[in-house]
Amino acid sequence: MSTREWNTLVQPETLAAALGAPGLVVVDCRFSLADPAAGEREYGRARIPGARYAHLDRDLSGPHGPGCGRHPWPDAEAFTGRLSAWGISPRTRVVAYDAGDGAFAARLWCLLRMLGHEAVAVLDGGFARWTALGLPVDDAVSEPAPEPAVFAGAFDASRLLDADAIACHLAQGGLLVDARAPERFRGEVEPIDPVAGHVPGAVNRPYMANLDAGRFKAPARLRAEFEALPGWRGPEALVAMCGSGVTACHHLLALEHAGLRGARLFTGSWSGWIDDPARPVATGD
């Protein structure tokens, strides 16, 4: 099995054949913004055999603070402690999945990638495709405790930007890509955050544009679409954002799957930007 197969996406059939293999950990990232307990309930009812559960608020985010947004980037020590408790070490192959589109699984993928962990992939099509293919599920009331591991490391701070760094990035002609839905980007609706609109100078590419019928588009197609964005100057000049730094990770995954490595993340994203009322807000296209 090539490294590439396990560092961006993995197909359900491939994962099913590897279940139970030494050094493989599967993590269920199902979550609902409307009902934060829903994903864990679904995990309790049925999951990929042996999967651990990662809660977006509890496990994949850090404590709230000024400018950090609704889902703050976690502290490296706290997050690596969680990885260790799940039995994940720097030598572990990790597969993350969610209900289907990969948005929450991509957050775990991005966290691991920013730690320099290469052997992590998102299940293409998620649990929806897994069950549609009739692959095995586990509904046991409890799972055996994972073997503890040791994972230590630090995030690549050069790829994690705050609002001040975003202002400098835009002033230098960098590309800021907002992964939210078009109507939120334009400021026509805002169901979550207290201010509608977008960061002036950002361009909109909804994260769902990375998918076709629930699965990621082919690498060549993704590459062509990203390279067609206005202001494209290569992946190193691109920063992804969204509402809170979660679905933006979907863009980083899609870019890397397309062979475009090196893009960065606005961790606080829109909810962090508007934390300071003095920052400018744009509406419309």
Alpha carbons 104 and 96: distance in angstroms, whole number: 9
What are the angstrom distances between the C-alpha of 16 and each of 42, 91, 133, 249, 284?
A: 20, 20, 11, 25, 45
Determine whether 242 is an active site residue.
Answer: yes
Catalytic residue among 29, 110, 242, 249: 242
**Largest Cα–Cα separation, the chain:** 54
Task: Give the residue numbers annotated as catalytic, written as ranges.
Answer: 242
